[in-house]
Structures are given as C-alpha cells and as structure tokens.
Amino acid sequence: MQNRLFIEKAFLNGEFITFERTFSVVNPATGQAIGQLPDLTVENCREFIDVAHESWTSWRTTSIAERASILNRLFQLIEQHREELAQIMTLESGKPIQESRIEVAYANSFVEWFAEEAKRSYGQTIPTQDGKSRLQTIKQGVGPVAAITPWNFPLAMLTRKVAPALAAGCSVVLKPASQTPFTAIAFAKLSQEAGLPDGVFNLITSKDSKGIGEELATNEKIRKISFTGSTEVGRTLMQQASSTIKRISLELGGNAPFMVFKDANIDEAVKGAIAGKFRNAGQTCVAVNRFYIQAQVYDQFKDKLTAAVSQLKVGPGIEEDSQVGPLINQSGLEKVERHVQDAVNKGAQIEIGGQRINGLFYQPTVLSNVSRHASISFEETFGPICALFKFEHEEEAIQLANATPFGLAAYFYSQDVQQCFRVAEALEAGMVGINTGMVSNAAAPFGGVKQSGLGREGATQGLDEYLEVKYLNFGG
C-alpha cells in the first residue's frame, strides 16, 4: 500500500519493532489479507509495561504547557493526514470512506479537547476551621495507563483514552483490536512526529487479546486500565484489575431504545433513526437496537423508514458512494442472521432486506411487529437491522426501554416539552438523545449505567478519569 503511515510493526520506546511470529489483518470487504503484524506475547507485554513505567517518571514532571503543545502538534498532523488515516481505517474495518473521514475528525476532536482541558485540572483551597492550617487539593496523573480499544472505531476510541492520559501526564501501553491495528500504528507514527518523548506511548500488537488483557489488568506497574468492548470482557478485566486495586474505566455493550411518540416530527425521527442505526453498519455500542413506536404513528414511521432504508447504498467502503459496509467478521454476520431468523420465527414481518448479500455484507433490514420475546429485544445485534415494536402509552414505552441490564444510549422523538423532560429523566441510560439520533461529542461525557460500563470519556470528566486528587495539609 502506498501510504507512509501504513506500517507493519509494533511501537515500543519510540521504535517500530518486528517479531519472528506474525498475524494477518484482513479487509472485511474482500476477505484478503492487507498486512502482517508482530504477534507479541505476554512476556513482551511486560517489557512494554516496564518501558511505560520508566518513561512516566519524566513525563509526569513535564509542564502542562509542554504536554498541550505536543497534543496541539499532534492535532495538526492528524488534520494534515486525514485522508491517509481514513484510507487505512476503511481498509481494515470495512467502514465507508465517508464515515472514516468523519471518524478521523471526531477522533481528532478529542486530541484538541484534551490539549485544552489539561490546562483546567484545577485543585481547591479548602477553608479551615481553626484558621491555622492551610488545606489544598491538587490533581496529578494516575500513572502508567493500559488502554484496550475496539475495532469499530479504530481511531476515536484510541484518542478518547490516550489524549486525556497524555494530557494528565500518564504514559500509555495501548493494545488495539487485532482486526484494526493499522490505524492505531499510524497514530503512533504521528505521535512520534509530534514530539512525544520515547516510551510515553507504546503500542503492542498481538492475537493473544486474552493473555495481553490479563497482563495489563494485573500488572502492578499499570495504575489504570481503560477498556472499550463487550460487557463479558469488561467483567473479566474488572475482576482481574481488582487484584491490584487499579482504577478502571469501562465502555461496554448497549441495547439502545429509540422511541417515537405520537406528536413527534416523523420525518426528523426517520432521519435520526438512519443516523442512529446505520453508522458503521449498526456496529456501534450506541446503535439503536429497539425501535418503540406509538400506535398512532406506527404505520407512518414504518413506511417512511422502509423507504429511507431502501435508498441506502451497500458496498465496499472504499467506493465513495458506499453508505453501508460489511460486517467485521463471520461471527458478527451469523449473529445478525440469527437475530433476524429468530424474530421472523416469533412472528416479525420483513419490510425490506432480511438477507445476506455476499461475503460479510448484509442487506439493511426493517422488521415490523417484532415480538418482545425475540432475541433482538434483549441482545445487542451490532448489525444493520431495525426492529420495530408498537406501544400504546408513555409509561409502557419507558418500562420497555428500561427493561434491559444495559444503559448506554437511549433516544426519543417528541415535540411535547413536558414529555421530553419526563422521559429523559426516567430513562436508565448514561446518554439520552432527544430529537436526535446522535449523542457523540468530545465536549460531552460519554458512558453508560448498569452493565454498560463505568466512568465517562470526553468532557471534563474524561480527564478526571486519569487524575488522582491529592490533599495537602500545611500545618501550623
């Protein structure tokens, strides 16, 4: 590939390294290998951690101005290499190129945000009762951080963790998903060019996600672990991290409801549904999984949504006009097929789609009259399927929306202001989109409740995740 950022190496202590054993990364649109990467071991991982720990001792003492200026340079470099990054991202994730370009900009908004936010990690002066001592708090970086990132947003999930960690004075060992490591390696190259000192950011590539994850979660030298991925893996990492009482942030699975109330603007709701459902072929944690539509507008919404879905262009992400790419792998495709089949077996009608196309491509699908007992109503699908359920009353919709162990994003459409406040406050979710199908924004706290995770990313809260509060008592 003619792209200087496409590098088939891991990154340790400022150097790109090879290893005798390698693994292939495959383009999900074609099934063809696009490159080979070092298949590093748990023993290698300890070396990565030692390097991060060593470099932390000097990085933590750098001034905030210095860290901010490196992050600002990195922001400029990402901006300049937007197209190269997007091309790599599409190649390894299958994401439509238009979406990859948007993701690069979204990812970079975290770099920009945290370059600024680091300057505002204020402590406090606490009034004393006796008038003699002086009490203060200061904030300091937690120490070396392990970040484990998913395949669905190869750059944005990285910058949402790494930018605040670096801004806070932490060093990092990153383990990107083995399906999409090349975008992360391109980031490593740009971080080096931006002047980040050697060893402050390290990137380990490996097929052994389980072994590396366990080492990162249990190693004493790592003070914090941040993970985005499935609830199942998050639970394991949380257990493992408890052995060293590590700080932990988890951004896990969702099962987002999308409600349309009877006086909603239906055209706007359809636009929001397409945005909230078909981004990355439905493979996002905040993707709408369940559509609850009030009986009075059910048919109207169903027909307009079906018409909009029929216009979506499915194709390899590298084609400029492609809007829906392939699923990431065979097991992702099989889950989609299983959910559709199960819904149909339980009485759902297929309004459009419902078939595999070829390879890992699946038709954008609308299912109506889905049973509340269908798997799709309680399991995250991670695919381009709209499952429509009918409801009669607001309380019923809220009860259905909340009837899940997950609570990441929720969305609803209504033009009744009182209803907007009532429903937004009643929903058990970390993020609520009201008359919008998108909630992601670097300035806003991203995260879930219940089994969707712990902690917040982005915003002021996203920096606090990498900071400890230290209390100072100046006696006498």
Query: What is the set of active-site residues?
Result: 251, 285
Answer whether 444's CB lies under 8 Å from 281's CB: no
Instruction: Give yes or no for residue 286 binding ligand SIN (CB under 6 A).
Output: yes
Classify residue 115 by burial, with Cβ atoms within 10 Å: 0-12, 13-18, 19+: buried
Please say which residue, 89 or 285, places its beta carbon nearer to ligand SIN: 285
Size of the site for ligand SIN (CB under 6 A): 10
Q: According to CB under 6 A, which one of 440, 447, 453, 466 is a site residue for ligand SIN?
A: 440
Stretch that binds ligand SIN, among 149-157, 172-180, 315-323, 361-369 (CB under 6 A): 149-157
Please say which residue, 293 or 442, places its beta carbon nearer to ligand SIN: 442
Shortest Å, Cβ 409 to ligand SIN:
9
The structure tokens listed for 445 are: 């706290």
Stretch that binds ligand SIN, among 2-10, 11-19, 278-286, 363-371 (CB under 6 A): 278-286
The structure tokens listed for 147 are: 């970040």
Q: How far is CA 301 from the centre of its chain?
A: 29
Q: According to CB under 6 A, which one of 228, 255, 365, 451 is a site residue for ligand SIN?
A: 228
- Amino acid identity of 305? L
> What is the 3-state composition of the chain as percent helix, strand, coil, each rounded to the nearest 5?
40, 20, 35
Q: What is the DSSP string of 272-316?
A: HHHHHHHGGGG-STTSEEEEEEEHHHHHHHHHHHHHHHHTPPB--
The structure tokens listed for 34 are: 């696009």
How many CA atoms does the CB half-sphere of 270 hold within 13 Å?
18
- Build a one-symbol-per-residue string for 231-270: x at contacts with ligand SIN by CB under 6 A, - elsewhere: --------------------x-------------------
Stretch that binds ligand SIN, among 123-131, 148-156, 233-241, 462-470 (CB under 6 A): 148-156
Question: Per DSSP, what are the bridge partners of residue 250?
Answer: 227, 454
- Amino acid identity of 414? S
Within 103-122, the residues that bind ligand SIN by CB under 6 A are none
d(CA 82, CA 162): 18
Please say which residue, 295 or 438, places its beta carbon nearer to ligand SIN: 438
- Amino acid identity of 156? A
Shortest Å, Cβ 393 to ligand SIN:
31
- Give the closest residue to 181 by CA, choosing from 7, 22, 316, 15: 7
Stretch that binds ligand SIN, among 69-77, 284-292, 343-351, 363-371 (CB under 6 A): 284-292
Please say which residue, 44 or 152, places its beta carbon nearer to ligand SIN: 152
CB atoms near residue 92 (< 10 Å): 27
Instruction: Give yes or no for residue 152 binding ligand SIN (CB under 6 A).
Output: yes
Classify residue 362 by burial, with Cβ atoms within 10 Å: 0-12, 13-18, 19+: buried
Question: Per DSSP, what are the bridge partners of residue 256?
Answer: 288
- Build a one-symbol-per-residue string for 443-472: x at contacts with ligand SIN by CB under 6 A, - elsewhere: ---x--------------------------
Shortest Å, Cβ 179 to ligand SIN:
15
Q: According to CB under 6 A, which one of 285, 305, 327, 333 is a site residue for ligand SIN?
A: 285
Instruction: Give yes or no for residue 100 binding ligand SIN (CB under 6 A).
Output: no
Backbone angles phi, psi at 340, to 5 degrees: -65, -45
Which residue, judged by CB position, is nearest to ligand SIN in the bound state?
440
Within 355-414, the residues that bind ligand SIN by CB under 6 A are none
Stretch that binds ligand SIN, among 151-159, 171-179, 345-353, 420-428 (CB under 6 A): 151-159
Instruction: Give yes or no for residue 159 binding ligand SIN (CB under 6 A).
Output: no
d(CA 349, CA 178): 37
Binding site for ligand SIN (CB under 6 A): 152-153, 156, 228, 251, 284-286, 440, 446
